[in-house]
Amino acid sequence: MNLRALLLASAVSGTLFSVGAQAADMTIGFSQIGSESGWRAAETTVSKAEAKKRNINFKIADAQQKQENQIKAIRSFVAQGVDAIFLAPVVATGWDSVLKEAKEAKIPVVLLDRDIDPAGKDLYLTAVTSDSVHEGKVAGEWLVKTAAGKPCNVVELQGTVGASVATNRKKGFEDGIAGASNVKIVRSQTGDFTRAKGKEVMESFIKAEGGGKNICAVYAHNDDMMVGAIQAMKEAGLKPGTEVLTVSIDAVPDIFKAMAAGEANATVELTPNMAGPAFDAVIAFKEKGTVPPKWIQTESKLYTQADNPMAVYEAKKDLGY
Ligand code: AHR
């Protein structure tokens, strides 16, 4: 279908149906990290639904948290001659060779939810991500405001070592608390974005900090680690949400449940719909040659206990988290 016919068909249908019809011929491969968190599960579910809406043949390869599996999946997608590849890079470095192979095969790559080392910017078409430095900053600023000048020792649960979002969320939080000498990070360790690891690391923080008495707040790079940390605090006889403040990132349904129960304080939302804008960018690129901006930024919104957490939980609970 040429451009004129395409526009006419769109006008007649009043929808993007004709674009969807063309997209029906497309096969897109997605190298997904795994299923380490509720957010990740939702991203996979939403991606499939967004592909279905556009009639795209969508192939997902689960890398089980391993970069080597992601590299294998990308090579396999290149060998299959897919129309585009989506990549959620588990870590930021080590992609140059495989992305060069995709580029030589003229297959556009779109990064979803995480970034790669800046050296590789010409190796992908666009990145659909949030501003993860900003997310950390919002969390830090919320804590400074809430601590209201009182001394506040913070323990930090970091995401996967080497992941862009872990590096950025750490930096952003540090920026957010920089002007407040009363707020200090006293311990910081990776919990690998999982509930189990978040709980385990929090248990060790509690032990190291006199049974938790010296901890004023927990900052976690995702909600799943915070849910694990909340469990650890409760088992240690602490009262998360009142005695110990919590702030984390993702906005998964379970954190809203904890907020409604008064056991969590704040979260910064990360939309699980990274694939929708990515599909639209690839379709426009393939069909009309429209080059997307290098960064398609998704929104970040702060939620606290004042935002009717039970209603948000109800609205989110069946969305694939
Ligand atoms: O890259 C996004 C992060 O990855 C999410 O915040 C976290 O839950 C996931 O594992």
40 lines ligand 1 (CB under 6 A): yes
Residue appearing with tokens 């990740």: 40
Ligand 1 centroid to residue 220 C-alpha, Å:
11
CATH says 2-130+272-290 is which class? alpha beta
Distance CA 111, CA 97 (A): 16
The two domains 2-130+272-290 and 132-270+305-316 share their CATH topology (first three levels equal): yes
Q: If residue 187 lies in a helix (H) or strand (E), which one and from where to where?
A: strand 183-190
CA 38 to ligand 1: nearest atom: 8
Instruction: Kindly tell me if the per-residue pLDDT of 44 is higher than 50.
Output: yes
132-270+305-316 topology per CATH: Rossmann fold (3.40.50)
Which of the listed residues 30, 33, 39 should we mutate to test ligand 1's pocket, taking the one with most ligand atoms within 8 A of CB?
39
CA angle 144, 146, 150 (to 5 degrees): 70
- Taking the CA of residue 164 as reference, the ligand 1 atom at the shortest distance is 1
pLDDT of residue 231 exceeding 80, the answer is yes
Average pLDDT estimate for 74-84: 98
Residue 6's pLDDT band, with cuts at 50, 70 and 90, is very low
Q: Is 46's C-beta closer than 6 angstroms to any atom of ligand 1?
A: no
pLDDT band at 22 (very low <50, low <70, confident <90, very high): low
Mean pLDDT of the chain: 93
Domain limits, the chain: 2-130+272-290, 132-270+305-316
- The CA 222 to ligand 1 mean position distance, Å, reads 6
Distance of alpha carbon 14 from its chain centroid, rounded?
33
Ligand 1 centroid to 8 CA: how many Å?
41
Per-residue CA distances from 305 to 119, 172, 252, 256, 259 (Å): 41, 22, 14, 8, 6
What pLDDT was estimated at residue 121? 84
